[in-house]
Amino acid sequence: MKEEGLLIVLSGPSGVGKGTVRKEIFSQPDINFEYSISMTTRLPREGEVDGVDYFFKTKEEFEQLIAQDKLLEYAEYVGNYYGTPVDYVKQTLASGKDVFLEIEVQGAKQVREKFPEGLFIFLAPPSLSELHSRIVNRGTESDELIRGRMEKARKEIEMMNLYDYVVENDQVEHACERIKAIVVAEHCRLNRVQHRYHKMLEGE
Ligand SMILES: Nc1ncnc2c1ncn2[C@@H]1O[C@H](COP(=O)(O)OP(=O)(O)OP(=O)(O)O)[C@@H](O)[C@H]1O
Ligand SMILES: Nc1nc2c(ncn2[C@@H]2O[C@H](COP(=O)(O)O)[C@@H](O)[C@H]2O)c(=O)[nH]1
């Protein structure tokens, strides 16, 4: 029997460094999980490429995807829709590969309901003032959007206890190493459980 891949969900407030940490993880040669590219109605930022950073959609296209049940989860986040393509995730997991989602907190909550066996990691900032500096210094949002994202961040941080692990993003390299170690440990745990069940079934 082919084992399903592991669904890894990295979430946390805007500006904490999810994208930076994810890109660093995927730039490493020993990584063998697949990144699920999200759909969004947000306009591309400078340098962002359709089909690489996101699949950029109109509001009408996105609402059609919702109506057709094509999204594993979706959320309206500070004025735009974001969502995860369900077929890609299910097919990739079924092929035995791990899938990595980098999504905001409402979406992670929906995934938890559908995939309780997934691995949920909350990326936390060293402090709220550091989080604010990171969003401001990124220079991609207006003052109004930054205020909206910071307000959301306070509520999102309160939800960190719903996750399996909290990883502080003090330094990108340290956060990446911690996340990789958590994934390895989770695989070891799953292998032990699966091994026990296989033995049990063989004995039947
Ligand atoms: N450990 C870190 N130390 C200092 N700066 C960091 C760190 N991690 C990320 N940053 C910087 O913080 C800013 C926000 O990072 P990033 O865009 O990756 O956050 P994000 O959580 O993906 O945000 P969003 O949810 O809005 O997409 C970037 O300018 C990035 O370079
Ligand atoms: N619920 C989902 N959230 C997602 C998805 N893809 C990205 N995101 C999160 O949205 C915010 C804003 O992203 P930005 O690119 O505009 O800065 C951020 O927290 C992303 O992690 C998704 O498919 N579903």
The model's confidence at residue 190, banded by pLDDT at 50, 70 and 90, is: confident
Nearest atom within ligand 1 for CA of residue 171 = 1
Q: What pLDDT sits at residue 144?
A: 92
- CATH code of residue 44: 3.30.63.10
User: Which residue range is the domain that position 80 belongs to?
Assistant: 37-96
Judge if 54 and 135 occupy the same domain: no
Average pLDDT (144-151) is 91
Quote the radius of gyration of the chain (alpha carbons, Å).
18
124 lines ligand 1 (CB under 6 A): no
Structure token digits, residue 81: 């829709």
- Residue ending a domain, choose from 77, 96, 115: 96
The model's confidence at residue 5, banded by pLDDT at 50, 70 and 90, is: very high
- Residue ending a domain, choose from 50, 73, 96: 96
The answer to whether the CB of 128 falls within 8 A of the CB of 153 is yes
Share of the chain above pLDDT 90, in %: 80
List, for residues 55-82, the tens digit of each pLDDT value.
Answer: 999 999 999 999 999 999 999 988 899 9
- The interface predicted TM-score (ipTM) is 0.97
Average pLDDT (94-104) is 96
Taking the centre of ligand 2 as the mean of its atom positions, its distance from the CA of residue 171, in whole angstroms, is: 21
Share of the chain above pLDDT 70, in %: 99
Judge if 107 and 185 occupy the same domain: yes
125 lines ligand 1 (CB under 6 A): no
Structure token digits, residue 159: 């939800």
Q: What pLDDT sits at residue 3?
A: 82
Q: Pick the closest to residue 24 from 172, 182, 166 (CA basis).
A: 172
Least confident range from 76-80, 87-91, 169-173, 192-196: namely 192-196
First to last CA, the chain: 17
Judge if 116 and 204 occupy the same domain: yes
Structure token digits, residue 139: 């220079």
16 lines ligand 1 (CB under 6 A): yes
Cα–Cα distance for residue pair 15/68, rounded to 1 Å: 31
> In the chain, how many domains are there?
2
Question: Would the pTM count as exceeding 0.80?
Answer: yes
- Flag whether pLDDT at 1 surpasses 90: no
Choose which residue among 8, 40, 142 to substitute to test ligand 2 binding: the one with the highest number of ligand atoms within 8 A of its C-beta.
40
- Residue ending a domain, choose from 51, 68, 96: 96
HSE-up (13 A, CA, CB side) for residue 107: 25
- Flag whether pLDDT at 2 surpasses 80: no
Nearest atom within ligand 1 for CA of residue 137 = 29
Judge if 184 and 148 occupy the same domain: yes
Closest-CA residue, ligand 2 atom 1, reads 107
Closest-CA residue, ligand 2 atom 5, reads 103
Judge if 104 and 4 occupy the same domain: yes
- CATH code of residue 176: 3.40.50.300
Average pLDDT (136-146) is 90
Judge if 41 and 113 occupy the same domain: no
- Flag whether pLDDT at 127 surpasses 90: yes
- DSSP secondary structure string, 24-90? HHHTSTT--EEE-PPEE-SPPPTT--BTTTBEE--HHHHHHHHHTT-EEEEEEETTEEEEEEHHHHH
Choose which residue among 38, 70, 78 to substitute to test ligand 2 binding: the one with the highest number of ligand atoms within 8 A of its C-beta.
38
Structure token digits, residue 12: 């946390």
